[in-house]
Amino acid sequence: MNNKISVIGVPMDLGQMRRGVDMGPSAIRYAGMVERLTQLKYDIEDLGDIEIPRPAQPAGVKHDNLRNLNEIAEGTQRLANEVDQIVGKGSFPLVLGGDHSIAMGTLAGLSKHYENLGVIWYDAHGDLNTADSSPSGNIHGMPLAVSLGIGHEKLTSIHGEEPKIKPENIVIIGARSLDEGERILIKEKGIKVYTMHEVDRMGMTQVIEESVDYLKDRTDGVHLSLDLDGLDPNEAPGVGTPVLGGLSYRESHLAMEMLHQSGMITSAEFVEVNPILDEKNKTASLAVGLMGSLFGESLK
């Protein structure tokens, strides 16, 4: 992995309706992220938080069944600019959320530097909804579809009109809550998904080994997008959309350790930490622990 890490916080809470996730970047920093990664001999540059526009109308107002569309498009464009610059100067982008809608900006910024960007989507949800398929209109359930070029033009055109990723370069791990429209899109596009059924049956070791084998020859960089609701809510209670039966603390550390050993991860984001819903910053501390494993922390 790149020895220089540039951290950017994105206090975005407009992609869903539960307040508090905008404090996620601060909670993660408070949990000792910089100190943890500095101990691993990384050169850490914390760029602070980007400014997220506040809605002129009451938060949650829908445009074309999309909540806070204009503000999210503007905020994620700012993030895309930052990520583009970070990669351009040869640093590893580490993005702190904020709700998962921010991934649209992260992937848009990254896409300028890769022909075949791979994505590991570590999440309970597929985030493959559109305005037509979404039951809620919450944009944090749409970033993967948008990054494929599917969705409202204000979102798909962030940092360039073209799709940011290809469906054959995606691996979703930990899915256990998929809407009907998402299931259809997964089948249509042939997206590789390891649901909790596969994780339980195969074990995390095989899931990661297969994911690495699947991505290593078809991609020229791999982004890890880790939603803390991918973990079981008993492990990570401070998330806005918890789903029972999730990935364990031990499975997740193993996954991060194996991804580090693969040497293929070129950028990462950790999202959906909501300290208002948390227990003594437990979820943010877990996120920092997983970062430690991703960046090479071990007992040996």
> Is 127 among the residues known to form the active site?
yes
> Is 180 among the residues known to form the active site?
no
Peptide bond into 109 cis (omega under 30): no
> Is 113 among the residues known to form the active site?
no
Of the residues 84, 140, 152, 297, only one is catalytic, namely 140
> Is 13 among the residues known to form the active site?
no
CA atoms within 13 A on the CB side of 212: 17
Structure tokens at 142: 């749409």
The answer to whether the CB of 185 falls within 8 A of the CB of 145 is yes
Of the residues 13, 125, 251, 260, only one is catalytic, namely 125
Of the residues 232, 251, 272, 278, only one is catalytic, namely 272
Of the residues 84, 100, 260, 297, only one is catalytic, namely 100
> Is 140 among the residues known to form the active site?
yes
> Is 125 among the residues known to form the active site?
yes
Of the residues 229, 235, 251, 297, only one is catalytic, namely 229
Q: What is the DSSP letter of 159?
A: T
* Active-site amino acid positions: 100, 123, 125, 127, 140, 227, 229, 272
